[in-house]
């Protein structure tokens, strides 16, 4: 469903509806099979976020806002991940999900490259060249996240112990996805992808790491050095990452201002936060005058729109401000448990050479999401993929069919 154009109204999407159908199908399957749905460890790890979500819902400013936030958080962090974990039967299913993400990334990336080449993308520095795929200018992180997921999956499949033809195809896909990722001009996605790919290479072994690093370097030289793909704008965008105190652009200023506002909200309500969906209502009372009224979006088939800044663009600070320390510990504790269990299974897989590709994909996707959460939060049509990523990570980390059986 995410391969199709999505509306920019910020409401639910067809992909969200399908994710609900997946949860329903999983529940029916469990009832008909009359089997225990989750192990005790899996139930604790996946159910831990419910504690902070429930407390923050009770403290929401209005019942409507609390209910909307409750449904969204349960969808992304509890229900859909649990359904994915239970419906993935074996490693063949896990590889199918990985290749599906690669295919979706190639499709969205191809549209993004076409947008850049024809000047029909989202507006960036006065030119409509920003690659956004089918997500439109109101969700500029959508295509970047999808392409990043596909690249991480392709790299994991390439570093695994699968057939040579599969690994070769994965390498080609990974190299092809570098261009649309660059043309997304998404600094957060660049950082998360670089960290994740480096982690995957290190976890797979240094010999392969050297080979893949050489291939990526060669592709970067050809695309940027040889063909001059977006050289000036890419260099300026990359250099802006470090410009925090020395003449930062307005987007960087807005982001750090909202981060400070989120921390200030937490200081007022340290244990339970200001309640779900409470950040927009409390933002102006805690933000400095450096915060702008919103960000401008234009292009990619949509007209000019002033988009309000309704979140801190940092998942950890969003949870801290709205759910307090209890909510952050519960949610981050669940993610940390998934990461520890997943890495433990990965080391076992590397020794036995069984399922290493699945391990690298699952752990890589989780690492990418955890790093990206430092620069982004949930929101937009692509959010449903976060739930799929967490579900695949939970399958590898907690399911007997994943990391437990060799």
pLDDT digits (tens, 9 = 90+) for 352-394: 878 899 999 999 999 999 999 998 888 888 899 999 999 999 9
pLDDT at 251 over 80: no
Report, as an integer, the average pLDDT of 106-120. 92
What distance in Å separates the CA atoms of residue 383 and residue 404, rounded to the nearest whole number? Answer: 29
pLDDT band at 245 (very low <50, low <70, confident <90, very high): very low
> What is the chain's mean pLDDT, rounded?
85
Q: What local confidence, expressed as pLDDT, does residue 242 receive?
A: 52
Tell me the percentage of the chain whose pLDDT exceeds 90: 47
Radius of gyration of the chain (CA): 21
Check: CB of residue 269 under 8 Å from CB of residue 322.
no
pLDDT at 124 over 80: no
Contacts of 386 (CB under 8 A, 6+ apart): 76, 369, 378
Q: What local confidence, expressed as pLDDT, does residue 111 receive?
A: 94
Give the helix/strand (H/E) hosting 81: helix 80-87
Least confident of 62-76, 129-143, 176-190, 224-238: 224-238
pLDDT band at 207 (very low <50, low <70, confident <90, very high): confident
254-257: list long-range contacts, CB under 8 Å, 24+ apart. Answer: 254/290, 254/291, 254/292, 254/295, 254/309, 255/312, 255/313, 255/314, 255/375, 257/287, 257/288, 257/290, 257/291
What distance in Å separates the CA atoms of residue 149 and residue 28, rounded to the nearest whole number? Answer: 29
What distance in Å separates the CA atoms of residue 316 and residue 157, rounded to the nearest whole number? Answer: 30
pLDDT band at 226 (very low <50, low <70, confident <90, very high): low
pLDDT at 244 over 50: no
What distance in Å separates the CA atoms of residue 382 and residue 116, rounded to the nearest whole number? Answer: 21
Q: Of the candidates 16, 36, 90, which has an alpha carbon nearest to the alpha carbon of residue 403? A: 90
pLDDT at 320 over 90: yes
Give bridge partners of residue 160 from the DSSP assignment.
none
What distance in Å separates the CA atoms of residue 113 and residue 118, rounded to the nearest whole number? Answer: 9
Check: CB of residue 138 under 8 Å from CB of residue 182.
no
């Amino acid at each position: 469903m995410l391969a199709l154009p999505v509306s920019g109204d910020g409401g639910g999407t067809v992909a969200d509806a399908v994710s609900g159908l997946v949860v329903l199908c999983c529940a029916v399957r469990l009832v008909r099979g009359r089997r225990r749905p989750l192990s005790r460890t899996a139930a604790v790890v996946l159910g831990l976020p419910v504690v902070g979500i429930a407390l923050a819902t009770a403290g929401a400013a209005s019942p409507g806002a609390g209910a909307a936030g409750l449904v969204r958080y349960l969808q992304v962090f509890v229900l859909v991940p649990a359904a994915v974990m239970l419906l993935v039967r074996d490693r063949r299913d896990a590889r199918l999900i990985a290749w599906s993400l690669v295919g979706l990334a190639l499709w969205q990336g191809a549209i993004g490259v076409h947008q850049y080449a024809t000047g029909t993308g989202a507006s960036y520095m006065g030119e409509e060249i920003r690659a956004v795929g089918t997500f439109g200018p109101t969700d500029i992180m959508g295509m970047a996240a999808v392409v990043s997921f596909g690249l991480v999956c392709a790299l994991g499949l390439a570093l695994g112990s699968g057939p040579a033809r599969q690994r070769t195809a994965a390498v080609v896909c990974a190299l092809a996805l570098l261009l649309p990722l660059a043309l997304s001009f998404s600094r957060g996605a660049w950082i998360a992808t670089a960290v994740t790919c480096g982690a995957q290479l290190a976890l797979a072994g240094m010999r392969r790491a050297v080979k893949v690093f050489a291939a990526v370097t060669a592709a970067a030289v050809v695309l940027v050095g040889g063909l001059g793909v977006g050289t000036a704008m890419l260099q300026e965008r990359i250099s802006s990452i470090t410009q925090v105190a020395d003449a930062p652009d307005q987007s960087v200023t807005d982001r750090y201002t909202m981060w400070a506002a989120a921390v200030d909200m937490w200081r007022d309500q340290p244990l339970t936060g200001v309640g779900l969906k409470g950040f927009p209502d409390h933002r102006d009372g805690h933000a400095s005058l450096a915060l702008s009224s919103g960000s401008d979006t234009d292009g990619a088939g949509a007209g000019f729109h002033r988009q309000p800044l309704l979140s801190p663009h940092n998942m950890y600070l969003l949870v801290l401000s709205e759910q307090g320390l209890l909510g952050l510990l519960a949610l981050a504790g669940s993610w940390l448990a998934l990461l520890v269990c997943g890495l433990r299974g990965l080391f076992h897989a590397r020794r036995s050479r069984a399922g290493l590709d699945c391990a690298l994909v699952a752990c890589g996707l989780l690492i990418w999401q955890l790093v990206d959460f430092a620069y982004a939060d949930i929101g937009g049509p692509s959010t449903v993929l976060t739930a799929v990523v967490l579900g695949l990570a939970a399958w590898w980390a907690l399911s007997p069919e994943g990391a437990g059986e060799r």
